Amino acid sequence: DGGITQSPKYLFRKEGQNVTLSCEQNLNHDAMYWYRQDPGQGLRLIYYSQIVNDFQKGDIAEGYSVSREKKESFPLTVTSAQKNPTAFYLCASSARQGPNYEQYFGPGTRLTVT
């Protein structure tokens, strides 16, 4: 799982509550990403960021928000507007450009909302 940490590993919340998932990396990567994984659907990109104070919506950004105040950190907030938040969430980081573009993934956070 490289130099990326996600906490906590398991998270339980009641419906209607916002929840923030942590992602920290010590790989000195400029770019960071958030994915959602559901069974049989592969990985879907939520948000990504190429530099501090900049981020872009991915394919399924509705109901989520992010911030990028530090290079090492890219927290994801799952808001009450997200209709089906129960999923496995993966954070990744990579170099911004050049041939070493492979993304390195954290261990993931499994969120259950009831």
Q: DSSP assignment, residue 67?
A: -
Separation CA 45–CA 23 (nearest Å):
15
31 binds other proteins (CB under 8 A): yes
Stretch of residues binding other proteins (CB under 8 A), selected from 1-9, 12-20, 67-75, 77-85: 1-9
76 binds other proteins (CB under 8 A): no
Cβ contacts of 64 within 8 Å, gap of 6 or more: 34, 46, 47, 76, 77, 78, 79, 82
Stretch of residues binding other proteins (CB under 8 A), selected from 14-22, 33-41, 61-69, 71-79: 33-41
Separation CA 58–CA 46 (nearest Å):
5
8 binds other proteins (CB under 8 A): no
Separation CA 77–CA 3 (nearest Å):
22
The tokens describing 106, both together, are 């954290």
Cβ contacts of 56 within 8 Å, gap of 6 or more: 47, 48, 49, 50
Question: How many chain residues are in contact with other proteins, going by CB under 8 A?
Answer: 29
Stretch of residues binding other proteins (CB under 8 A), selected from 13-21, 64-72, 78-86, 93-101: 93-101
- The correct pick among 50, 67, 73, 80 for binding other proteins (CB under 8 A) is 50
Residues at the interface with other proteins (CB under 8 A) = 1, 4, 6, 31, 33, 40-43, 45, 48, 50, 56, 58, 88, 90, 92, 96-97, 99, 101-108, 110
